[in-house]
Amino acid sequence: MTGKTVRVRFAPSPTGSLHVGNARTALINWLYARHHGGEMLLRMDDTDSERSTKEYELGIIEDLGWFGLDWDDFARQSARQDRYDAAMERLKEKGRLYPCYETQEELDLKRKILLGQGKPPVYDRAALALSAEEQAAFVQQGRTPHWRFRLLDEPVEWDDLGRGHVRFEPGHLSDPVLVREDGRPLYTLSSVVDDGEMFITHVMRGEDHVVNTAVQVQLFQALGYDVPTFAHLPLMVGADGKALSKRIGSLGLAEIRADGTEAVALAAYLAHLGTAIAPDGSETMADLARNFDIKGFGRAGPRYDPAELETLNAKVIHHLSFDVVKDRLAEAGLGDADEVFWSAIHGNIAKVSDAAYWWQVCNGEIDPAVDAEDRDFLTQAAAALPEGAWDETTWKTWTGALKEATGRKGKQLFLPLRRALTGRDNGPELRDLLPLIGRDRAAERLRG
Ligand code: GLU
Kindly report, residue by residue over 261-270, the tens digit of the pLDDT: 999 999 999 9
Kindly report, residue by residue over 374-394, the tens digit of the pLDDT: 999 999 999 999 999 999 999
- Assigned CATH topology for domain 249-319: Glutamyl-tRNA Synthetase; domain 2 (1.10.1160)
* Per-residue pLDDT at 249: 57
For 318-346, the DSSP string reads: HH--HHHHHHHHHHTT-TT--HHHHHHHG
Q: Determine the angle formed by the axes of helices 394-406 and 375-383, rounding to 10 degrees.
A: 130
Kindly report, residue by residue over 79-126, the tens digit of the pLDDT: 999 999 999 999 999 999 999 999 999 999 999 999 999 999 999 999
Kindly report, residue by residue over 10-39, the tens digit of the pLDDT: 999 999 999 999 999 999 999 999 999 999
The separation between the first and the last C-alpha atoms of the chain, rounded to the nearest angstrom, is 72
Q: Tell me the pLDDT band of 244, cut-offs 50, 70 and 90.
A: confident
Work out the mean pLDDT of the chain and round it to a whole number.
Answer: 95
Q: From ligand 1's centre to the CA of 114, what distance in Å?
A: 29
Mean pLDDT of 156-184: 95
* Per-residue pLDDT at 242: 81
Q: Specify the ligand 1 atom closest to the Cα of 208.
A: 10
Q: Tell me the pLDDT band of 234, cut-offs 50, 70 and 90.
A: very high
Angle at 146 between CA 143 and CA 149, to 5 degrees: 150
- Assigned CATH topology for domain 83-179: Glutamyl-tRNA Synthetase; domain 3 (3.90.800)
Instruction: For ligand 1, say whether the CB of 13 is within 6 Å of any of its atoms.
Output: yes
Residue 83 in contact with residue 134, Cβ under 8 Å? Answer: no
Q: From ligand 1's centre to the CA of 67, what distance in Å?
A: 19
Q: What is the C-alpha separation between 55 and 41, in angstroms, rounded?
A: 20
Mean pLDDT of 227-234: 97
Kindly report, residue by residue over 386-415, the tens digit of the pLDDT: 999 999 999 999 999 999 999 999 999 999
Reference 356, options 382, 375, 336; nearest CA is 336
* Per-residue pLDDT at 446: 97
For residue 204, what are the contacts with CB-CB under 8 A and spacing of at least 6?
A: 8, 25, 28, 29, 32, 161, 162, 230, 231, 232, 233, 294
Mean pLDDT of 369-377: 95
* Per-residue pLDDT at 246: 57
Q: From ligand 1's centre to the CA of 98, what distance in Å?
A: 25
Residue nearest to atom 5 of ligand 1 (CA): 11
Residue 420 in contact with residue 413, Cβ under 8 Å? Answer: no
Q: What is the C-alpha separation between 75 and 200, in angstroms, rounded?
A: 13
DSSP letter, residue 107? H
Instruction: For ligand 1, say whether the CB of 11 is within 6 Å of any of its atoms.
Output: yes
3-class state of residue 258 by DSSP: helix
Assess whether pLDDT exceeds 70 at residue 247. Answer: no
Residue 157 bridge partners (DSSP):
167
**CATH architecture of the domain formed by 7-77+187-237:** 3-Layer(aba) Sandwich (3.40)
Name the pTM for this structure.
Answer: 0.91
For residue 409, what are the contacts with CB-CB under 8 A and spacing of at least 6?
A: 403
Instruction: For ligand 1, say whether the CB of 9 is within 6 Å of any of its atoms.
Output: no
**Structural domain boundaries in the chain:** 7-77+187-237, 83-179, 249-319, 322-363, 372-447
From 46, 64, 205, 220, mutation site for ligand 1 pocket: most ligand atoms within 8 A of C-beta: 205
3-state helix, strand, coil in the chain (%, to 5): 50, 10, 40
Kindly report, residue by residue over 34-43, the tens digit of the pLDDT: 999 999 999 9
Q: Tell me the pLDDT band of 1, cut-offs 50, 70 and 90.
A: very low
3-class state of residue 36 by DSSP: coil
- For the sheet with 146-149, list strands across it: 97-100, 146-149, 177-179
Instruction: For ligand 1, say whether the CB of 422 is within 6 Å of any of its atoms.
Output: no
For 86-101, the DSSP string reads: HHHHHHHHTT-EEEE-
Assess whether pLDDT exceeds 70 at residue 2. Answer: no
Q: From ligand 1's centre to the CA of 205, what distance in Å?
A: 7
Kindly report, residue by residue over 53-80, the tens digit of the pLDDT: 999 999 999 999 999 999 999 999 999 9
* Per-residue pLDDT at 4: 84
Q: From ligand 1's centre to the CA of 362, what distance in Å?
A: 50
Residue nearest to atom 6 of ligand 1 (CA): 11
- Assigned CATH topology for domain 372-447: Arc Repressor Mutant, subunit A (1.10.10)
Residue 162 in contact with residue 232, Cβ under 8 Å? Answer: yes
- What does the chain come to in residues? 448
Residue 213 Rama label (left phi>0; alpha psi -120 to 50; beta)? alpha
Percent of the chain with pLDDT over 90: 94
Q: Specify the ligand 1 atom closest to the Cα of 10.
A: 8
Q: What is the C-alpha separation between 430 and 424, in angstroms, rounded?
A: 12
Instruction: For ligand 1, say whether the CB of 205 is within 6 Å of any of its atoms.
Output: yes
* Per-residue pLDDT at 233: 95
Residue 156 in contact with residue 214, Cβ under 8 Å? Answer: yes
